Amino acid sequence: MSKATAPQTLQAPLSIENLKEVIRLERVGVCYRVPSERILSFKEYAIRWLQRRITSREFWALKEVTFSVHQGETFGLIGANGAGKSTLLKVVARVIRPTEGRVVVVGHVAPLLEFGAGFHPDLTGRENIYLNGAILGFSRKEMEAKLERIVDFAELWDFIDAPIRTYSSGMSARLGFAIATDIEPDVLLVDEVFSVGDEAFRRKSEARMREFRERGTTIMFVSHSMESVKELCHRVAWIDHGHVKAVGYPEEVINAYRNSQLG
Amino acid sequence: MTSLTTDHKPIYDSEMRRKPEINEVRELARYWHLVIQLTRRDIVTRYKRSFLGIAWTMLNPLGTTVILAFVFSQVFGARGPYAVYVLSGLLPWTFFAQSTSACMVGLIAGGSLIRKIYLPRTVFSISAILTALINLGLSLVPLLIVMLLYGLSPQPSLLFLPLSTLCLAMFALGIGLILSSIAIYFPDVREMYQIILTAWLYLSPVIYTEDFLPPKYVWVVHLNPMYYLIKIFRTPIYDGIIPAPQEIFLSLAIALLTLMLGWILFTRKAEEFAYRV
């Protein structure tokens, strides 16, 4: 597209010898500016601004994060709450531009949205499929071609023309998962989604993730369930206070993480 | 796998920074389907499951007009087809007030989405303007009815209305973008804006005629951009003529400048929206 403006360094790492690198993070840092007091109204903000009483502190959610993920890899992210795992997914998903460092992602990236994000309760299931598809960057026509498979997978043919507000949470979770996984991205970002839905659907979802893996989709997977991570991931990164503590095979990294929590 | 050639796959590189206001236009072209789907969502949820929804869009300005026409002709002694005068100012005003408020609501409601997935942030404002345009189109029906009731036959000058509407839409988009880039941080801006709108309405010759103003305050009204935008909408309807060229150029200039200002401000701020934890 705009090759002329690409920095020189892009040429080498992503050329033929390194074809398989799909996600590359180079010394990535993300700094949030957190106001020392939460100001919720514009009036208050204006008054404090006049009084010069607006202060904020810096909070580095990620710092010096460097690693690469390769084609077809399922890459796990583990760590305590607030360690920066979700921020890392946001950086890869292009939601947040890193404050420092560099991110390069090759291919179409799709986050597996939290179920129901982007659904409108008054629209029917069918209408929501088109809306959700558009959010993920697909036209109505493209979604029409996928509709049958999506509804089949979600097992919602009887309700597809009823408004989403009449759905149970499990039903909308099924629809959300079915849409998100039918669009066949190059990179799939999964943030802690197996906690909802019934047991049968959970198994079905895991089966679909395996399908993805076999097809060569690169997956970045955040989870607190060490069993899922061990079972699904090729490699794992342990994030702690915004730093990468370890990257490697699931067994080793998970053990290191567990040991640190005991002590 | 040899399929991974970088030629036909999109590459995201955080260091390749283009100018945000230009980049947004490119991204918008890619996400045009989303703008359509969001507009469709707003129209469908408003009209689909209620017949009254459509009727209300037409009856609302009509009802206001009936009340104002009664008060002004009976109490203040206004003459002529006053109802047509009010309605031809009320429609562009309602368009402006509704669309700019909807820009803020759209971005705030979409806030949870833009913290999870990349979308060009302007889609919410643009679909808010498109939705308001459809409502404006529907409310032209009662306007035509009132015109015929007062014996004003539609003139060819009505063909000028698309250009008036374009100016109005560009101006509203510019204001809507500025407002929503503040409202995403401070939700109370929405309420404050409703008060500003009330004051702004009285500063615009919507319900009163220009000669109603005390001469020493006329300049105040002339500082109001909505004065010109309402005028080029009303003249083809009420006076049956095409507005004066200087009025057209002034309106176009106001609309373009406001849109550019809003676009640049919003797209430069937009990257920070997702940073709000």
pLDDT, averaged across chain B? 88
Q: Which residues of B touch A139 (CB under 8 A)?
A: 33
Which residue in A21, A41, A142 has the most chain B C-beta atoms within 10 A of its own C-beta, making it the best mutation to test that interface?
Answer: A41
Closest CA to B87 of B61, B120, B109: B61
Q: Which residues of A touch B20 (CB under 8 A)?
A: none
Q: Residue B3: closest CA among chain A residues belongs to which residue? A: A19
Using one digit for the tens of pLDDT, what is the confidence trace for A133-156?
999 888 899 999 999 999 998 889
Q: Residue A128: closest CA among chain B residues belongs to which residue? A: B41
Using one digit for the tens of pLDDT, what is the confidence trace for A87-102?
999 999 999 999 999 9
Confidence label for B277 from pLDDT (cuts 50, 70 and 90): very low
Q: What is the mean pLDDT of residues A216-239?
A: 89
Say if CB B98 and CB B135 are below 8 A apart: yes
Half-sphere exposure of A32 (CA within 13 A, CB side): 17
CA B37 – CA A249 distance, rounded (Å): 43
Which residue in B2, B13, B124 has the most chain A C-beta atoms within 10 A of its own C-beta, making it the best mutation to test that interface?
Answer: B13
| CB nearest to A42's CB, from B12, B40, B189 | B189
Q: Residue B115: closest CA among chain A residues belongs to which residue? A: A95
B105 in contact with chain A, both atoms CB, cutoff 8 A: no
Task: Quote the distance between the C-alpha of residue A234 and its chain's center.
Answer: 17
Q: Which residues of B touch A102 (CB under 8 A)?
A: 13-15
| pLDDT surpasses 80 at A10 | no
Provide the chain B residues 44-63 that lie in CB contact (below 8 A) with chain A.
Answer: 44-45, 49
CA A26 – CA B246 distance, rounded (Å): 56
Q: Which residues of A touch B114 (CB under 8 A)?
A: 95
Per-residue DSSP letter, A4: G
| pLDDT surpasses 50 at A13 | no
- What share of chain B in percent tops pLDDT 90? 53
CA A131 – CA A109 distance, rounded (Å): 18
Q: Distance from B73 to chain A by nearest Cα, in Å?
A: 41
* Contacts (Cβ under 8 Å, ≥6 apart) of A69: A21, A22, A23, A24, A75, A218, A220, A235
| pLDDT surpasses 60 at B4 | no
Q: Residue B118: closest CA among chain A residues belongs to which residue? A: A95
Say if CB A27 and CB A102 are below 8 A apart: yes
CA B162 – CA B201 distance, rounded (Å): 23
Q: Distance from A57 to chain B by nearest Cα, in Å?
A: 14
Q: In this predicted structure, what is the pLDDT of residue B213?
A: 84
Q: In this predicted structure, what is the pLDDT of residue A193?
A: 62
Q: Residue A60: closest CA among chain B residues belongs to which residue? A: B275
| pLDDT surpasses 60 at B6 | no
| pLDDT surpasses 90 at A57 | no
Closest CA to A73 of A186, A203, A200: A186
Using one digit for the tens of pLDDT, what is the confidence trace for A192-204?
765 555 677 777 7
| CB nearest to B16's CB, from A6, A111, A140 | A6
Q: In this predicted structure, what is the pLDDT of residue A174?
A: 84
**From residue A224, how far is each of A76, A259, B36 by CA, in Å?**
10, 15, 38
B13 in contact with chain A, both atoms CB, cutoff 8 A: yes
Using one digit for the tens of pLDDT, what is the confidence trace for B169-226?
999 999 999 999 999 988 889 999 999 999 999 999 998 888 888 888 888 889 999 9
CA A187 – CA A26 distance, rounded (Å): 18
Q: Is the dihedral of CA B45, B50, B51, B57 positive or negative?
A: negative
CB contact under 8 A, A134 and B31: yes
| pLDDT surpasses 80 at B73 | no
pLDDT, averaged across chain A? 83
Q: In this predicted structure, what is the pLDDT of residue A114?
A: 66
Provide the chain B residues 195-234 that lie in CB contact (below 8 A) with chain A.
Answer: none
Which residue in B37, B43, B114, B119 has the most chain A C-beta atoms within 10 A of its own C-beta, making it the best mutation to test that interface?
Answer: B37
Q: In this predicted structure, what is the pLDDT of residue A3?
A: 41
CB contact under 8 A, B188 and A134: no
CB contact under 8 A, B114 and A139: no
Q: In this predicted structure, what is the pLDDT of residue B76?
A: 67
Q: Report the amino acid identity of residue B199.
A: A
Confidence label for A5 from pLDDT (cuts 50, 70 and 90): very low
Using one digit for the tens of pLDDT, what is the confidence trace for A165-181?
999 888 888 888 888 88
Collapse the DSSP code of A241 into the 3-class scheme (helix H, G, I; strand E, B; otherwise coil) and give the result: coil
| CB nearest to B186's CB, from A41, A91, A111 | A41
Task: Look at the block and give the residue holding tokens 């047509």.
Answer: B84
Q: In this predicted structure, what is the pLDDT of residue B238?
A: 92
CB contact under 8 A, A114 and B182: no
Q: Which residues of A touch B116 (CB under 8 A)?
A: 90, 93, 95, 111, 113-114, 117
CB contact under 8 A, A95 and B114: yes
Confidence label for B7 from pLDDT (cuts 50, 70 and 90): low
Q: Distance from B38 to chain A by nearest Cα, in Å?
A: 7
Reduced DSSP (H G I as helix, E B as strand, rest coil) percent helix, strand, coil of chain B, to 5: 75, 0, 25
Q: Which residues of B touch A136 (CB under 8 A)?
A: 117
Q: How many CB pairs under 8 A join A and B?
A: 136
CB contact under 8 A, A136 and B10: no
B1 in contact with chain A, both atoms CB, cutoff 8 A: yes
Q: In this structure, what are the phi and psi dihedrals at residue A4, rounded to the nearest 5 degrees?
A: -60, -35
Confidence label for A12 from pLDDT (cuts 50, 70 and 90): very low
CA A39 – CA A49 distance, rounded (Å): 11
B28 in contact with chain A, both atoms CB, cutoff 8 A: no
Q: Residue B16: closest CA among chain A residues belongs to which residue? A: A6
Using one digit for the tens of pLDDT, what is the confidence trace for B19-47?
889 999 999 998 999 999 999 999 888 87
| pLDDT surpasses 50 at B1 | no
